[in-house]
Amino acid sequence: MALEITPTWARGHSVTLALCAQRRELTLTAPGEVCQYVLVPARRPDRLGWTERRLHDGPAARRAVTVSEVVRACLQEWDAEEAVLELTAKAAQRAAQRGGNWKPAAKRLRAQARLARQRRRVSLLPLQVLWHQRSDPRRGEALSPSLAAERIGYVADGRPDTTRLLRRLGVADQDDKTGAQTRQRAVSYDTALVLCEALGVDAVEVGL
């Protein structure tokens, strides 16, 4: 049976987590997006680990991701995090038992799991959901990007730096190292607290 979770902060916002241990799959569903994380049976040591497929624009190719990325997708939900880490540990154990080139692969996966437990970065999804809610122009007192930027001192040339705010929230595109357009998906815990201040919300309300 799959573990199904709706984060407390997400009620009414169509955000859910479903983890199936049998398929070794975590599915994160959010408005306009579905992300699937799968611990695929590896035929080669270099492919041992988790993969991600994002379905917001239709079926997409899988890409390899770290255990930390999968744990972040659990949105601070302890049961989901522990289930992901347990599946990872079992996969590493099976790989180590195969010996040969599988031992370094198992060691790499275990190292990723240890790093994931440190939770150095957190997902921006909760803050993005809250931003879209509070900035909705249909609200009587919609939160403006200018006010949110001013609250945390994001100012450039004497004006609120709304571009910096929206990029930091991951709701506006920015160029990556290759020049491609991407959106930020995670930030440090300290930065998340700053963004909570910008949105006028207590960190506990978004699961931090």
**Which residues, 6 or more positions from 175, have their beta carbon under 8 angstroms from its beta carbon?**
181, 182
More confident residue, 59 or 153: 153
pLDDT at 192 over 90: yes
Q: DSSP alpha helices (H): ranges in 73-161?
A: 78-98, 102-116, 125-134, 145-151
pLDDT, tens digit, 9 for 90 and up, residues 96-135: 999 999 999 999 999 999 999 887 788 998 898 888 888 8
Residue 56 pLDDT: 66
pLDDT at 38 over 80: yes
- The average pLDDT across 156-172 equals 90
Residue 51 pLDDT: 94
Q: How far is CA 7 from CA 10, 25, 139, in A?
A: 5, 18, 23
Residue 191 pLDDT: 93
* Cα-only R_g, the chain: 19
pLDDT at 141 over 70: yes
Residues in the chain: 208
| % pLDDT > 90, the chain | 52
Residue 59 pLDDT: 60
pLDDT at 176 over 80: no
Domain ranges, ordered by start, for the chain: 3-119, 125-206
Q: Which of 45-54, 166-175, 176-185 has the highest mean pLDDT?
A: 45-54
The CA distance from 47 to 67, in Å, is 13
pTM of the model: 0.84
Average of per-residue pLDDT values in the chain: 88
Greatest Cα-to-Cα distance within the chain, rounded to the nearest angstrom: 64
